[in-house]
Structure 1
Amino acid sequence: MPLRNYARRRLVPRLVFALSLAALPLLLGSAIIYWQTLRGLSAEARTATHEAVRLFDLMLGNAEGAARVALSHRGQTCADVTLVLREQVAVVPFVRSVNLTHGDDIYCTSLFGESKASLERSLYVNGRLRLMAGNPITPDVGLLILRREEGEYGALATVDGRYLSSTLQLVDQRSDLQLLVGGEWMDEEGNVSQGEPVPLPVGHVRIDSERFPYSVVGGFAEGSQWRHIREEALPLASLLIALGLISGVACYWLWGRSATPSLELERALMAGEFVPYLQPLVDARDGHWTGAEVLMRWKHPREGMVGPDLFIPLAERSGLIVPMTRDLMHRVGEGLAPYGELLGEGFHLGINISAVHCSDPSLFDDCLSLQARFLPHRPVLVLELTERELLAASEATDRLFSRLDAQGIRLAIDDFGTGNSSLAYLHRFKVDALKIDKSFVTMIGVDALSRHILDSIVELCGKLDLMIIAEGVETEEQWRYLAERGVGVLQGYLFGKPMPMEDFLLAMRERNGGAH
């Protein structure tokens, strides 16, 4: 869409309406904001609940597989089968223990070997599933037990409650989620209670699993819609009030000002004012530079250097982000390719792409062109997918990511946990790495909840075999904390600020002892 038409369709009616009716925009806007908030919260709760059911089905599917393997050794002595049970605990994700039963007795466990505990069949929903608040080994940690039976023998596979509570927390950090199994339910803190949970007042939804006898309840607490409006829509409400009071001259000024940024971006792109800055990525073990993230800066002839927060969202909305990124990749190839030997093999080169770019078939050719510039050296090109706009899975995106993967081009999720996608991208696309948002890193040593969430993200990445990159590292304490938890790559002001390519290459030469 032409930029002038875009500005006319989106801005002119709003300004004309505000000028004509001073009070009506506020009244109608308030009603619409409230309705959209309730609708958005309901949709968010439903999406989060579906995703939680999918993840729990995945965990229980692993547990069922472990139980099936255990049952293949039914009838053998416990001494002969104990090693098999322990092997399942060691290799199957999310499974904490595996036990064998005969009749109403548990006769062999992966933890203690021979056992004489009672099975208590009546406590299992449909004879298959039981949610417990804890056991004698871990009385304060809930657990979910899956039972599989073949004849007189059965197998019990246990999922640790900490995985369950972490999933409830991480699927969507704003909504409340609860796991229901029969007459027991677990909240996001891992507490297990009896009876039915109190229905959530806003956006309440309950979804039953089609594979196992459990449900997930989602929604928001009382007053969440007002808190959401205060946090998200208050600027819009303030703008509606202002539009009802401003004069015709002010409206005219706003009209002209509103259309100017998009046209200015188009002019700046043609003038080559968008320049690449590089921020180093370091090995968490020794601080050695292993790569760089390419960041876009606007070198405005009058305003000076303009940060990306001010123009990237507008570029995405106006459709200019694709040619701007293509121009940035071209500049990076021109500036860095002649120094491929200095960078070395396997140099990590991260470039941000938006959701709209993933539907453009030219992205694949742009990446190949950038790789070809570095031959015979070959950096590891990593496309960092931002979460400002949700990327919908389609045949086109699947085909694009498959072709990129075949060329050794990796996909990373940028600012993980702060955007629209939450955990969804991990299961829709083949993701190679996660970039932990700096808001979690900043809270190291300050906020216990954020630290727990950070630890859960790191643990999840380990389970999914994903590379982890932590952004915003500014202190030695944060460095040590992340390195101790196995985070491999760090980025932040502690190691280097974003810098022009010339300064980055100069710093690389100094670190390499003056090599050219």
Structure 2
Amino acid sequence: MLFSQTGLAKYRYYRLALAGAMGLLTLILTLGIRIYEQSRVISADQQRVAMHTVEKLEKLLEPASQAARKTPVDPALTCRELQPAMQQTVARMQTLRSITLVTNGTITCSSLIGALDLSFSKTLPDIAQGRTRLELRAAKLSRLDIPTLLLWQPATADNLNGELFVYNIGILSNFLLEPQPPYARHIVLNVVKQSLEYGKNEIMQSLNLPQRPLLTVKSPNYDFSVSIYGEEASALAWSELASHLPLSVLISLLTATAVYLLSGSRISLAYPISHGISHREFKVYCQPIINSVDGRCIGVETLMRWKNRRQEWVSPDVFIPLAEQHGLIIGLTRYLIKTVTDNLSVFPATSGFYVSINVAAQHFNNMEIVDDIRKIWLPAQPSVSLMLELTERTRLQELRAAEISQLKEMGILLAIDDFGTGHSSLSYLKTLNPDVLKIDQAFTASIGTDAINATVTDTIITLAQRLNLKLIAEGVETREQVDYLRKRKVDSLQGYYFARPMPIEVFPIWLARYEKSTQAMQPVDE
């Protein structure tokens, strides 16, 4: 088992923590998006309320403009003669309070009061001077000091003749400026510098309004604007937080569940490997390779062993496939090359001695293995050779000839590991041009016991010899196997018969004892 129950429980907590964090992040993001969208909707609704109020006011004023154009005033008629027609117009339009005539700069007649004689420029200076066509003012021609809205319709270009349409806006505002909670708590009509608020029967200076409006929309056709007062759209959106929670919580729970399930293997397996690499939990072991003719140790195969932080040994058959699956095998191999480079002094500086390292096919992508050798191995100026073992269980034919050529130019030896057990193809032997074939231990173990596998072993040996390739037999454990392989002129032997894998720092001690042994081809007691 890869991890103890305590370890599994601990990693389960990691998964729960990650799932909880992702769920919380999803909840925050979902609520944030919902509130942002709701804020935009509320802001659009507030804009709609203001625009709708402007449209209602324009519809109120438009009939007066049409009436002024349809019924021009005859200056030859007296006020008493004009008043009945003016009163009929007021009655027909319903929303009007009165109509007042201006003749040659003098206010002469009112449908409500009758004949008048007031200076137009003194009574209504802004309108008389052409600065505006609308004005909010308290009624001066009646006993009631109530708000009115004056609309000026000039009849001549000199602005001295025309009609004043007077609206009892104080009453009409109860319909036109009616608030629409929660989007608009107050709606205010602004005309020049005067303002009229819903429910207040008085005209105020715009500068004296108690607070700034949320937004103000101007009429495109008349000299007025409408202001909306109330809470900001974002504040209203936040007030509706409770309504967004159920869906957001559901989405966050689904996200947390998905992360928990998907992260099962990623956290419980990939994370400890990555942690082990960064904290140097992996140890480099090496197993000697023996010349079958004279018994000399001519090289070592380096192996990775892992004692995790809970002091548990993890089998390479477990962590190597996981490292390949999770994209960590390159980092693991790079760690191995760096550790070997740091310990070059433990190897004999003799001609022909080599250090063998297993390399996955993924390491050849984008020339990574070539770059690593240039950056890590070559700067150390090693006195020993480097051999890269490529397992036949990967698709070796996918490796590029250009990479193989560059490795050869740098003096790197190539070996095909576990030959005969994987994607068997004789065609790529020519492409890879390996220096060594390694006979898998399954074939070595069959010597003397399995006629079929022994035949396959003889075939591999014959093939290598005809191709002038060196042979290394793995898994040598008995004297019978040694004699059989020596008889068939297999170049090198590797296995428990000579030595088990040992920590790299122990290798010099073993080598010294081995070289002093009088029987180099006999088992060595550890």
TM interval, short-chain normalised: 0.3 to 0.5
Higher Rg of the two aligned structures? 2
Report the TM-score when normalising by structure 2.
0.47
